Amino acid sequence: MTVIQENQALKGCQYFALLNEEEAAVIQENSYCRAYKKGQVLFDAGDERNRMFILKKGFVKFEKIDQSGTLFYLNFVKDKAVFPLTGLFTDENYHFSAIAMTDIEVCYISRKIFEKVIQGNNQQLLFYFNQISLTLKKHVLKIESCVTSSASQRVKNTLAILMHDLGEKNYFNQVVIPYPILMNDISHSSGTTRETASLVIKKLVKKKKIQYLHKELIFFDPAYFSLDYD
């Protein structure tokens, strides 16, 4: 972990856009910025939930493993996100682990200070409730799209969700995920084996629907991977 001297925690972040000057100053003055290397753990499931994080740059994976060693929760956030929203105002511990999937820059603030500021601003509080609602809808969609008995369809649905959540359009109307997506994570999210996920992806590459090279996904036909997010 490396300390970053410049602290611009709120710059360009919609999660604080509705704060007044005094509230924004409290967040700014109590935020501390750090750089983490790829693979470093920000917190583990069960740790005291004493910090909120603002991801300034990079890509973070959330995961939780049960007592048998089976991965049963997996999610990702990219830059400009505030996390974790799970347990906001209620929980004393983190529900999952957070791992840097790239070199990242984050700012963090005391959870108690963060929640006190947000509680005092109804508009900003409503924004957070809306974000939590959207997250819940996404999780429901993930469950609905991955209960099919077809492993191929589950992999396709997982790719569609990743495209929607993490993708960015390029000049060719393709959608690129500019972060490393591991084959193991695709298979876990799809409830299938690594071998099956790899086979499905090879078929999609052959059909020229996607490119999967050096862990980077490019979607040549975004419409093929559409899901109902409304």
**Which CATH number characterizes residue 164's domain?**
1.10.10.10
Domain that holds residue 215: 146-225
What's the rounded Cα separation, in Å, for the pair 177 and 164? Answer: 10
* Domains of the chain: total: 2
Task: Provide the 3-class DSSP secondary structure of residue 192.
Answer: coil
Return the pLDDT at 26: 94
Predicted confidence at residue 141, as pLDDT, reads: 79
Tell me the pTM: 0.86
Examine the domain organization and report whether 21 and 65 are in the same domain: yes
**Which residues are CB-contacts of 77 (< 8 A; sequence separation ≥ 6)?**
55, 59, 60, 62, 83
Domain annotation covers residue 96 = yes
Q: In this structure, are 53 and 123 located in the same domain?
A: yes
Low-confidence stretches of the chain (pLDDT < 70) are 1-12, 67-72, 228-230
Write the pLDDT tens digit of every residue in 157-211.
999 999 999 999 998 889 999 999 999 999 988 888 999 999 999 999 999 999 9
Task: Tell me, yes or no, whether 153 and 183 share the same domain.
Answer: yes
Domain boundary at 91, 109, 134, which? 134
CATH, residue 73: 2.60.120.10
Going from the C-alpha of 161 to that of each of 126, 141, 144, 150, 167, the distances in angstroms are 25, 9, 12, 17, 9
Does the N-terminal peptide bond of residue 222 adopt cis geometry, omega within 30 degrees of 0? Answer: no
| Residues 177 and 212 occupy one common structural domain | yes
* pLDDT value of position 222: 93
